[in-house]
Amino acid sequence: MIVDDVKLSIAGSVGEQMYSYVAEMFPICRSITGNGVRETLKILQGLVPLEIHEVPSGTKVFDWEIPKEWNIRDAYIKNSSGEKIIDFANCNLHVLNYSVPIHAKLSLQELKSHLFYLPEKPDWIPYRTSYYKEDWGFCISYNQFLSLKDEVYEVFIDSTLAPGHLTYGEYFIPGETSEEVLISAHVCHPSLANDNLSGIIVSAFLARHLQEKKPRYSYRFLFGPGTIGAIAWLALNDSRADKIKHGVIMSLLGDTANFTYKKSRQGAAEIDRVVEFVLKSTNPENKLVDFEPYGYDERQFCSPGFNLAVGCLSRAIYAQFPEYHTSADNLSFIKPECLDESLRVSIEIMETLDDNKKFTNLSPKCEPQLGKRGLFNLKGGDNNSKQFQMALLWVLNLSDGKHSILDIAIRSNMQFKYIKEAAEQLMRCHLLEEVKQY
Amino acid sequence: MIVDDVKLSIAGSVGEQMYSYVAEMFPICRSITGNGVRETLKILQGLVPLEIHEVPSGTKVFDWEIPKEWNIRDAYIKNSSGEKIIDFANCNLHVLNYSVPIHAKLSLQELKSHLFYLPEKPDWIPYRTSYYKEDWGFCISYNQFLSLKDEVYEVFIDSTLAPGHLTYGEYFIPGETSEEVLISAHVCHPSLANDNLSGIIVSAFLARHLQEKKPRYSYRFLFGPGTIGAIAWLALNDSRADKIKHGVIMSLLGDTANFTYKKSRQGAAEIDRVVEFVLKSTNPENKLVDFEPYGYDERQFCSPGFNLAVGCLSRAIYAQFPEYHTSADNLSFIKPECLDESLRVSIEIMETLDDNKKFTNLSPKCEPQLGKRGLFNLKGGDNNSKQFQMALLWVLNLSDGKHSILDIAIRSNMQFKYIKEAAEQLMRCHLLEEVKQY
Amino acid sequence: MIVDDVKLSIAGSVGEQMYSYVAEMFPICRSITGNGVRETLKILQGLVPLEIHEVPSGTKVFDWEIPKEWNIRDAYIKNSSGEKIIDFANCNLHVLNYSVPIHAKLSLQELKSHLFYLPEKPDWIPYRTSYYKEDWGFCISYNQFLSLKDEVYEVFIDSTLAPGHLTYGEYFIPGETSEEVLISAHVCHPSLANDNLSGIIVSAFLARHLQEKKPRYSYRFLFGPGTIGAIAWLALNDSRADKIKHGVIMSLLGDTANFTYKKSRQGAAEIDRVVEFVLKSTNPENKLVDFEPYGYDERQFCSPGFNLAVGCLSRAIYAQFPEYHTSADNLSFIKPECLDESLRVSIEIMETLDDNKKFTNLSPKCEPQLGKRGLFNLKGGDNNSKQFQMALLWVLNLSDGKHSILDIAIRSNMQFKYIKEAAEQLMRCHLLEEVKQY
């Protein structure tokens, strides 16, 4: 189904197609501003018609200010023999993200306070940033650190930190109603595959899927830097943010863990109930966790001044797996089949949400006579038709304008698709009327 | 107690008396219309002064129409030797209920599409109906079916399906208030003992019991055909259906299973809480099940346009015991002692409901001095009087006009009768006033 | 900390100091009226500036009337040899409390109906009263009872029962707001150490502690006789009783059992939630029990006409330990270290309640930038500062004017003191504003 919906010229399964895109974007050195974000969004424009927004440095966004733009061309550490022992060209994690430019000779002692490493994972390079305090540094493996001799080192970072812009991409799919579903993925991490690229690519493929439907809701996709990007968008769209009725932050969707959904601050919003229903019907091992004000951009959308119904869908949980924010979150950490499954689940969530309508029974006093409309099984016997008749009775009984398809599916312990199909048949017989909620 | 209340000329325990009535009504061929219902109601009139209603065929009742009246005199299948191999006179289940008349000779092949049987229970005759699609048929045991030879058969059904009436009986016991409790039993099944006759006879004996009391509520007893009878009653009484504040559908009350109560659609209505309390104090094994829009006439009373607080009391659960809708639901499937116990429990439910009043403490600031009114144990010591003093304190503390006797019994974990007795004593001392809720 | 707060001239730990006061008050023969109460309150005035109230006999207080005042000087039983075999001077429990005067010679047979004893605890003297029915009697051990010979006894009770007053003490500590916290202990039991004196002394020391703070709430301490004292206070203060927003009855606080808190009638009032939180963080074995209209003076404050949020803090539970209301509830039944712990827990409860404010986030749209205010850990790493940052984020996210510090501590599963400290730091940065609830 997915394969049919997503018409791409490149070959392979959908999971493999997504994986190829991730591989293409992996080497780019992204940050919260700069050309890495622009290149990434350009690649995504090959999939969906993103509109690119540039917000000037210095713009006030609530309590924050858009920082200077950072760009980097090269960086290395040479030992006293002139050998490059650390090279940005090999791995962009080597540079403390947002490092100011430097070209200097330092003793090992002087250098040490600018080095970051992970003694507990001696082969991995950590990912570190210093966005709001001007600094420079190198991230290296602990084994590299141990091999450093007491000599003089040449450090070079060819970066610029100067007035420029913060860049984000936005894609809006208008629906029958102006009520919006927000899908957002952060695009500020350099060569990290699961944290960042998996969420980006699943969101982009989900957008491709939805644009070919005629959805009930309007869908807004955001691809921007974490924290400051969400803050910028909310500040620039403050007056219309309440159009967002439901939302999901997408991240960490390429690994092999079961799914985790972090509920919105509201906790029992429609999106929370829909995702719980879909995840639990998919695999009882999938996990729901309560909102906490730490994590990804749900923090901003769920701040008390907005309190939007926005949760976060992931597989592994941020900061709770060893590869998190290290060079081990690389292309071998994610799997095409996991990306594919994440896309399928995301589509099911959005379709369930979109289909989750409420109805009014137009013949609410006693049961209507289903037999004369051909809706009642006259032969009887097979289990499917019995199930379907129960679905009809449940929909008629609970369609008092207050219960949605999901409410009825949960109450009756029946599949969502049966309840939806029953409602559609009753609509055709003029026994139901949709409650327009907007 | 019951024996004293029910003054019948026939001998035996109350359970045996009820069983005798069931035995008398068992052979009658009932259906949703016709003389079988009339004969049954006539027998019940020997117990309670039922008012008989006749609703003409063709009358519109909500989405339905009263069907033609069906009556049957005789039916058989003869083999080519002229032997009656299937005879309605032996068992009225043999005829597909509502069969149109036929007199014809058919090959075995032609006959087969009109035969119903149960391969999984080869000795039992199934009960089948075709009310809303004109058809004819015979219900036989699977062993009878297997013994049929490839010969020519004479089939004869001497029935009529013609404009007439739908018949139901109604008995109203006026109470102190015009608020009503509905008790309803279906009377449309032919020779089935548990499904139909047990509910009918327990309802009739309950009516006899209540008519000698001066109940607080008014009680309305209905004896009509399932589904179309309830729909007809609701259509004819649409404007005053909201007088029904509580209700119980009575069925399947003669078998040996523990009790099952299916809650009303409201789920936590007063009747639901009362029945739960009585059933659980009687036997913790008694079962409560949630409402579902399938079962007996609670389906109609709980349709969203009425949403009345009507549940269903039974022992076995409809469609969940093997004898259901077969010739095995016969006089040996039900027991006099089970009918008796069902009557006792029904009476306790109705008395608990009737006694479940709310009060206002007329001395609500601090405890009133019970000692000067002789209500406080001056000697102390025996456990009963300690319990009773606790009951007094609970009633005083919770009588704020919001808590009923049942609420107080549940909150205090004390017996209903203690709380009721405490309230009565406090009434006598002018420390309480009943809250009139109507 | 407690030691510093409580500046007493006498030596020893706070627990030992409290124990000394209990020992001083133990021999006094208290009752619901009379000089025993006055002497007790005079001793307490050495600790806190109690205001003494005298309510004349005959005063109507709701459904009750202040009884005559009772005083006693001496009482004994002499055998025929003139030996005092029972002597009030040895133990004031020997006299049925509120005994009318008598001086007579009686046979053993006549005497017996005036003797109270405990066959199940043959060495203990029971504590009995007859406040509202004029009577006289002696309470003796069962062994004493068994040793009585069939001779003539001289009984002598030198008491007076005459118009006088009911006496209670009151101490009011004004706070920032006129909303009050009530702390009440009964003072009507004679030589009983745990039931009465432990609650009195912990309350008095708690008052000493609070008077040196500048509490947010006003605190009202009551020391009066059980039942009739609370009823008198409520009757005399009827119009301003609703100033009491929270309250705790203090009793049975010197024994070695874990704490028990009996919730207010409201059941989930702020005081109930605060005490639950403090007790459960202190020791998971501490117990919460639901309100019942039996026990101490919470019965009056929680009568439906007041329904104040008043619970009861104790260690052992009234009427549920063998020493209850016997001579075994003596100075060796209570321990200085238990009194000390009870005081510490009471202080923590009151401080938690006093600190349990609500706030409004003044930068509610998106997270404010903590880094530029020095609130965000720039080095990272140590667990305490991570915890504190989480506390900051939780306070910001939930400070919507509806969540208190306690709500946030429970929701975040963090310590109250962390959340409180986070709120204070955010106040200093002008990111929060306190919600004034009065």
Does A62 contact C363 at a Cβ distance shorter than 8 Å? yes
Mean pLDDT of A416-435: 96
In terms of C-beta density within 10 A (0-12 exposed, 13-18 middle, 19 or more buried), how is residue A337 classed? middle
Q: Which of B45, B40, B21 is nearest to B30 (CA)?
A: B40
Cα separation, A61 vs B165, in Å, equals 77
Rounded to the nearest angstrom, the minimum Cα separation between A62 and chain C is 7
Whether residue A242 lies within 8 A of chain C, CB to CB, comes out as no
Residues in chain B with CB shorter than 8 Å from the CB of C62 are 363, 365-366, 368
A-C C-beta contacts closer than 8 Å: 65
pLDDT of residue B401: 94
User: Each residue of B81-119: pLDDT tens digit?
Assistant: 999 999 999 999 999 999 999 999 999 999 999 999 999
ipTM: 0.93
- Of chain C residues 64-93, which have a CB less than 8 A from chain B? 64
pLDDT of residue B377: 62
Whether residue B160 lies within 8 A of chain C, CB to CB, comes out as no
Whether residue B368 lies within 8 A of chain C, CB to CB, comes out as yes
Whether residue B308 lies within 8 A of chain A, CB to CB, comes out as no
Chains in touch with C (≥3 Cβ pairs < 8 A): A, B
Cα separation, A184 vs A296, in Å, equals 10
Rounded to the nearest angstrom, the minimum Cα separation between A231 and chain C is 6
Residues in chain B with CB shorter than 8 Å from the CB of C305 are 361, 364-366
Rounded to the nearest angstrom, the minimum Cα separation between A376 and chain B is 11
Nearest CA in chain C to A306: C365
Rounded to the nearest angstrom, the minimum Cα separation between A238 and chain C is 9
Give Dmax (Cα) for chain C.
94
List the single residue in A369, A394, A397 with the smallest CB-CB distance to B63: A369
pLDDT of residue A214: 87
Does B378 contact C235 at a Cβ distance shorter than 8 Å? no
List the single residue in A367, A378, A399 with the smallest CB-CB distance to B300: A367
The contacts of residue C163 (CB under 8 Å, 6+ apart) are C56, C57, C58, C68, C69
Interface mutation target, options B32, B62, B237, chain A, most CBs of A under 10 Å: B62
User: Each residue of C2-46: pLDDT tens digit?
Assistant: 444 444 444 579 999 999 999 999 999 999 999 999 999 999 999
- The DSSP H or E segment spanning C165 is strand C165-173
Q: Which of B252, B251, B249, B253 is nearest to B263 (CA)?
A: B249
Strands A244-250 and A260-262: unpaired
A425 pLDDT band (50/70/90 cuts)? very high
Mean pLDDT of A315-334: 96
Q: Is the pLDDT of residue A381 over 60?
A: no
Interface mutation target, options C303, C310, C325, chain B, most CBs of B under 10 Å: C303
Angle at A164 between CA A161 and CA A167, to 5 degrees: 110
Residues in chain C with CB shorter than 8 Å from the CB of A234 are 365-366
Mean pLDDT, rounded, of chain C: 94
Rounded to the nearest angstrom, the minimum Cα separation between B410 and chain C is 13
Does C365 contact A294 at a Cβ distance shorter than 8 Å? no
Whether residue C36 lies within 8 A of chain A, CB to CB, comes out as no
b/e for C248-284, b at 16 or more Cβ within 10 A?
bbbbbbbbebebbbbbbbbeebbbbbbbbbbbeebee
Whether residue B289 lies within 8 A of chain A, CB to CB, comes out as no
User: Each residue of A248-294: pLDDT tens digit?
Assistant: 999 999 999 999 999 999 999 999 999 999 999 999 999 999 999 99
Interface mutation target, options C292, C301, C302, C307, chain B, most CBs of B under 10 Å: C292
The better pLDDT of the pair A380, A366 is held by: A366
Chains in touch with A (≥3 Cβ pairs < 8 A): B, C
Residue C116 has which token pair? 């109270």
Please check whether residue B182 is in contact with residue B244, taking contact to mean a CB–CB distance below 8 angstroms.
Answer: yes
Q: Which of C375, C374, C373 is nearest to C391 (CA)?
A: C375
Whether residue B26 lies within 8 A of chain A, CB to CB, comes out as no
Does A64 contact C396 at a Cβ distance shorter than 8 Å? no
User: What SS3 string covers B386-412?
Assistant: HHHHHHHHHHHHHCEEEEEHHHHHHHH
Q: Is the pLDDT of residue A130 over 60?
A: yes
pLDDT of residue A376: 75
> Distances from the Cα of B320 to the Cαs of B259, B260, C152, in angstroms?
14, 12, 80
Q: Is the pLDDT of residue A378 over 50?
A: no
The contacts of residue B91 (CB under 8 Å, 6+ apart) are B125, B191, B327
Mean pLDDT of C184-188: 98
User: Each residue of B322-351: pLDDT tens digit?
Assistant: 999 999 999 999 999 999 999 999 999 999
Rounded to the nearest angstrom, the minimum Cα separation between B361 and chain C is 8
List the single residue in C372, C378, C397 with the smallest CB-CB distance to A304: C397
User: Each residue of B148-168: pLDDT tens digit?
Assistant: 999 999 999 999 999 999 999
pLDDT of residue C252: 97
* Sign of the four-CA dihedral A188, A189, A190, A191: negative
In 3-state terms, what secondary structure has residue A197?
Answer: helix
pLDDT of residue C436: 86
pLDDT of residue B11: 52
User: Each residue of C100-159: pLDDT tens digit?
Assistant: 999 999 999 999 999 999 999 999 999 999 999 999 999 999 999 999 999 999 999 999
Whether residue C302 lies within 8 A of chain B, CB to CB, comes out as yes
A-B C-beta contacts closer than 8 Å: 64
B436 pLDDT band (50/70/90 cuts)? confident
Residues in chain A with CB shorter than 8 Å from the CB of B64 are 366, 369
Mean pLDDT of C370-385: 69
Nearest CA in chain A to B233: A366
Mean pLDDT of A152-167: 98
